[in-house]
Amino acid sequence: MDVLVVDHPLAQTRLTAMRRTETESGVFRASLHELTTMVVYEAARLFAVEKYPIETPVAATEGTRLANPPLIVPVLRAGLGMADAALGLLPESSMGFVGLARDEETHEPRAYMESLPADLSGQPVLVLDPMLATGGSLLHCCKLLADRGCTDIIICCVLAAPEGIERLSRSDLPLRLITASIDEGLNEKAYIVPGLGDAGDRQFGGM
């Protein structure tokens, strides 16, 4: 699996704000929004473009547009905080949703919602999930997409653990990953270390 780390200084300052315990949820959400813009901006280098004729006030020339805008799929709940930034950069795109909850005993995903087009053949998909930890949730989500015929899946996250990258790499799914950091690893509760805690709770409060 191709992995790109967005190490731009402005991405790293947003990530630092998200990591800090004292960052309150409003600033955390704003930082996630801005960081998502940077991660999706880098991901968009992977998209095919096409030329088409346009006119400026001065002359006829060629413009550029995305040849095949991706379907954006935030993984709920934590991916919700990335959705608006991604759609802002990709206004031509439409959005699907996958709702996954983590079983705290097994750390494996449990699906509670799938809102996706039936046929995704020929359609690139941009999956949004801030945390690639064990890889269980993202693998589950990407299998749902592949089952619908998707052959081009780009995952945008904020933090990735080596264990999760390894798990996704071992799958035979057509995946590429863009992240703002590859952290040290997972602790015994499958949290990313040093990480930023629970990305859903940090955005929306604990339940």
State the residues that interact with ligand URA by CB under 6 A.
78, 131, 133, 191-192, 195, 198-200
What is the distance, to the nearest Å, from the Cα of residue 151 to the centroid of all Cα atoms in its chain?
Answer: 17
CB of 196 to ligand URA, least distance (A): 7
For ligand URA, which is the closer residue by CB, 70 or 195? Answer: 195
C-alpha–C-alpha distance, residues 82 and 95, integer Å: 12
Angle at 175 between CA 174 and CA 179, to 5 degrees: 170
Considering the complex, what minimum distance in angstroms separates the CB of residue 181 from ligand URA?
12
8 Å CB contact between 142 and 73: no
CB of 186 to ligand URA, least distance (A): 7
Q: Give CA–CA dist 152/127, Å, rounded.
A: 11
| Residue 70 vs 81, nearer CB to ligand URA | 81
Closest to ligand URA by CB, 49 vs 193, is: 193
* Amino acid in the structure at residue 199: A
Only one residue has tokens 């703002």, namely 180
CB of 95 to ligand URA, least distance (A): 21
**In the complex with ligand URA, which residue's Cβ is closer, 124 or 130?**
130
141 in Cβ contact with 102 (< 8 Å):
no
> How far apart, in Å, are the Cα atoms of 156 and each of 36, 60, 112?
8, 37, 21
Least gap, CB of 78 to ligand URA (angstroms): 6
Q: Which H or E run includes 62?
A: strand 60-66
Residue 72 vs 133, nearer CB to ligand URA: 133
